[in-house]
Amino acid sequence: MADGLSQITIEKLNKNNFQLWKFRIMNFLMGKGYWEFITGDEKEPPIPENPTQQQIQANKTWHEKARKILYWLSMSVSNSMIVHIQGAKSPKQAWNTLVKMYTTNTQARKM
């Protein structure tokens, strides 16, 4: 895979290394030009009732890129974390789930 996560070494996300993992995966996605899928700036192109071939292709391309990012995210988290993101419908949703989990765990540890 020429543009895959296998090109670099990222320690898989676990309950103890979120900040380091976040920094590395964030920079990886920015470097690949996919960070906008995480921020939500890159939105799924709608398919109108009578779509053109261009609209269909744009939607298909968006889904292909989103699946690639979801794959990278799934490969960069420990097996125990997969269950939390396996139902995500978008990279943004998966990312937000992981951030929320970490924030909740950190607050619980502080208490």
Residue 5 pLDDT grade (very low, low, confident, very high; cuts 50, 70, 90): low
- What is the structure's pLDDT at 1? 43
| 43 burial level (CB within 10 Å; 0-12, 13-18, 19+) | exposed
- CA-CA distance, 25 to 9, in Å (whole number)? 10
pTM over 0.95: no
Nearest alpha carbon to residue 91 among 7, 49, 32: 32
- pLDDT higher at 66 or 11: 66
